[in-house]
């Protein structure tokens, strides 16, 4: 019989690991811009960001923990082929196409270039991803490396910045920037939460977390769920404090006045650098470099490991873990040479499509997984969400196609102003298919 490790130690380590896995490049550079653009309505924006960037990812971890040991186990409730397709799309988004390259690009722009302007981004990409490869090649030590060593350094540097920024704000909270995003501060926070990619990452990270919990001796579903919920509370509280602090720092920033740039010219990384130097002076550049390096490194390690694991499992060992990890770091290094803003700009259309689909999957399995046995309601609700999300993508692409009729229908859907227009149609579809399935 396997010996249980101390529960408090396991919960704390896993909780810190969850925080560090989720808190990566996007999580650091997105909140200040949310605060700057929403001004006095920053709390409302924080609520939206809290739902899409903290609560939803935690529910993703919880759903997988209750269903099995990995994301593909959700196929038992939906359909194995559909889950496989979603798994590939998700792993490409959170892996080598978007999230991992963004960690390298952000570290270079915020943490390295200000101090070493002569260093080539190509050279840096090679160095950064070589470190990621070395630290992720052995998956059994990942949670311990992240939870015990890297996270405390990350937290200390961020807390120092936020506490001083709250005590000595650059200026009083500003007005909301009219027309910068949308009329609703909640909508600003909620949709920016998409860019964290954390809902997508959560269902993949769950496998790493479950492996760590099981290796500590907690193998039953009941034990896993208890440990996961407790660890999730630690990571949720830490994320809420950090996000709230960074959004507040953005709301009190004098970036526009100091730089004279227009709202359309705002650079996320430059805003973050301006805030850190305004609060801490020249030391701020160094502190931010440390925070960025550790935030991005921890996330890159977790995502690279998850990519290697999922492709190994889906290919039935034809793509071994170490090969998958190596290929992932090579592709990520190549894409990371692009700027952060360019990576974010091309990623938004992918996220507008895939994010609501995964959100729907998590929500309905969590709410109805035990009481609805048929797979058809889950599949039908996902299809409806996918169709509505596709309309959102087409509208955002602005392709000059004659689709005004579809766009008007979408705009009339309930909760459209909150970018939750898919919620009610998918729920109605789920109820209808559930009713017919039970009659049969």
Please answer whether residues 310 and 91 qualify as being in contact, where contact means their C-beta atoms are separated by less than 8 angstroms: yes
Q: What is the domain partition of the chain in residue ranges?
A: 7-355
Distance CA 70, CA 203 (A): 8
Considering only residues 31 and 407, tell me which one the structure prediction assigns the higher pLDDT. 31
Lowest mean pLDDT among 28-37, 272-281, 346-355, 397-406: 397-406
How many Å is the maximal CA-CA distance in the chain?
Answer: 70
- The closest alpha carbon to 259, from 285, 280, 277, belongs to 277
How much of the chain, in percent, has pLDDT values that exceed 70? 92
**In terms of CATH architecture, what is 7-355?**
Up-down Bundle (1.20)
* Rounded average pLDDT over 384-403: 84
Burial 245-275 (b: 16+ CB within 10 A, else e): bbbbbbbbbbbbeeeeeeeeebbbbbbbbbb
Is the pLDDT reported for residue 122 higher than 70?
Answer: yes
Most confident of 63-72, 83-92, 121-130: 121-130
Give residue 381's pLDDT.
Answer: 93
- The SS3 of residue 309 is helix
How sure is the predictor about 138, in pLDDT bands with cuts at 50, 70 and 90? low
Mean residue pLDDT of the chain comes to 82
Q: Who wins on pLDDT, 224 or 146? A: 224
Alpha helices in 98-220 (DSSP H): 99-106, 121-136, 142-144, 151-167, 185-192, 198-215
Please report the pLDDT score of residue 369 as a whole number.
Answer: 81
**pLDDT score, position 1:** 47
Q: Dig out the tokens for 407 from the structure.
A: 């766009």
Amino acid 326: pLDDT:
92
- Mean pLDDT throughout 99-124? 87
Model confidence at 174: pLDDT above 70: no
Q: Note the helical H segments in 107-150.
A: 121-136, 142-144
pTM here?
A: 0.77
């Amino acid at each position: 019989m396997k010996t249980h490790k101390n529960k408090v130690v396991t919960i704390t380590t896993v909780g810190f690991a969850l925080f560090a896995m989720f808190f990566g490049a996007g999580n650091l550079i997105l909140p200040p811009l949310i605060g700057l653009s929403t001004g006095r309505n920053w709390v409302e924006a924080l609520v939206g960001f809290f739902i899409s960037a903290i609560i939803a990812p935690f529910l993703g971890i919880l759903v997988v923990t209750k269903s099995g040991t990995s994301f593909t186990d959700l196929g038992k409730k939906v359909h194995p082929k559909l889950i496989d397709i979603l798994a590939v799309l998700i792993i490409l988004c959170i892996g080598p196409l978007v999230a991992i390259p963004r960690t390298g690009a952000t570290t270079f722009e915020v943490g390295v270039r200000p101090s070493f302007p002569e260093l080539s981004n190509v050279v840096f990409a090679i160095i950064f991803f070589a470190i990621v490869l070395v630290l992720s090649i052995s998956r059994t030590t990942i949670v311990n490396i992240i939870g015990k060593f890297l996270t405390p350094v990350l937290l200390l540097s961020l807390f120092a910045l936020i506490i001083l920024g709250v005590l000595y704000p650059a200026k009083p909270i500003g007005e909301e920037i009219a027309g910068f995003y949308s009329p609703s501060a909640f909508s600003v926070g909620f949709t920016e939460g998409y860019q964290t990619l954390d809902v997508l990452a959560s269902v993949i990270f769950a496998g790493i977390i479950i492996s760590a919990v099981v290796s500590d001796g907690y193998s039953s579903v009941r034990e896993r769920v208890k440990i996961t919920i407790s660890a999730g509370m630690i990571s949720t509280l830490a994320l809420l404090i950090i996000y709230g602090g960074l959004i507040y720092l953005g709301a009190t920033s004098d970036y526009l006045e100091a730089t004279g740039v227009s709202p359309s010219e705002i650079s996320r990384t430059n805003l973050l650098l301006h805030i850190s130097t305004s609060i801490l002076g020249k030391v701020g550049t160094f502190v931010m470099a440390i925070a960025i390096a550790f935030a991005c490194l921890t996330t890159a390690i977790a995502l690279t490991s998850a990519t290697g694991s999922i492709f190994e499992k889906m290919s039935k060992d034809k793509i071994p873990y170490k090969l998958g990890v190596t290929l992932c770091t090579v592709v990520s290094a190549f894409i990371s040479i692009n700027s952060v803003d360019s990576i974010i700009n091309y990623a938004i259309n992918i996220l507008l499509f895939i994010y609501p689909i995964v959100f729907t999957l998590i929500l309905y399995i969590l709410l109805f997984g035990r009481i609805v046995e048929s797979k058809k309601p889950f599949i039908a609700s996902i299809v409806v969400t996918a169709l509505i999300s596709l309309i959102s993508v087409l509208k955002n692409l602005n392709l000059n196609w004659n689709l005004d009729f579809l766009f008007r229908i979408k705009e009339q859907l309930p909760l459209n102003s909150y970018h939750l227009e898919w919620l009610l149609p998918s729920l109605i579809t789920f109820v209808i298919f559930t009713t017919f399935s039970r009659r049969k």
